[in-house]
Amino acid sequence: METAKTYADIGLDYALGTKKVLGKNLMEAIQQKGTMEALTFCNHQAIPLTDSIALHYKATIKRVSDKNRNPNNKANAEELKYITQFKKELANKKEIKPITLEKKDKVQFYYPIETNTMCLQCHGKQIKPEVQRQILKLYPNDLAFGYGENEVRGIWSITFEKKKNE
């Protein structure tokens, strides 16, 4: 008999599923047309793609940060609290565990977004000048840079309905 998935399992499925789709599309854009095309992809497609995946899962899925690039990805007070917690855990070399909160008829799930080599092309400490110029053209108030590898750049903030009959 199959074990029922916990809310943490469901949240993680949603976060990793969305991350996989965005990552795959971003990687294809970089490989086919370079970093500048990846910027265009993020600017035009990242939020609509995330929204369509959220629709599929019947959830609200956001990527938010304390140092956001897009103003629509600015973390709220509760999200900031968990970004800070994840950063501390990573700094103290602790295993970062997702946060699952049950709120009335909904579940709120938080999962860290960590930087990798691909991220650093647009979010790192040494961004190519032409890429930097394009970023500032698209996002004049950009804060999402200066990262190193394996740092918390933000979180997945996911809200979904509790299962019925509970």
31: CATH: 3.30.450
- pTM value > 0.95: no
> Over the stretch 46-79, which tens digit does the pLDDT of each residue have?
989 999 999 999 999 999 999 999 999 999 999 9
Three-state SS across 101-144?
A: EEECCEEEEEEEEECCHHHHHHHECCCCHHHHHHHHHHCCCCCC
The pLDDT of residue 41: 86
For residue 1, being part of any structural domain is answered with no
**Domain coverage including residue 82:** 7-161
Q: Are 39 and 135 in contact (CB under 8 A)?
A: yes
pLDDT score of 92:
94
Per-residue confidence (pLDDT) for residue 143, from 0 to 100: 96
Residue whose pair of structure tokens reads 């970089």 in the numeric block: 30
Cβ-based neighbour number of residue 55 at 10 Å? 11
140 in a structural domain: yes
Q: 166 in a domain, yes or no? A: no
Q: What is the mean pLDDT of residues 26-31?
A: 91
Number of domains making up the chain: 1
149 within some domain: yes
Position 3 pLDDT exceeds 90: no
Instruction: Say if residue 166's pLDDT is above 80.
Output: no
Q: Is residue 38 part of a domain?
A: yes
pLDDT given at position 144 = 96
Quick one: which H or E segment has residue 30? helix 7-33
Task: Determine contact, residues 75/64, Cβ cutoff 8 Å.
Answer: yes
Does residue 27 fall inside a structural domain? yes
pLDDT at 156: 98
2 falls within a domain: no
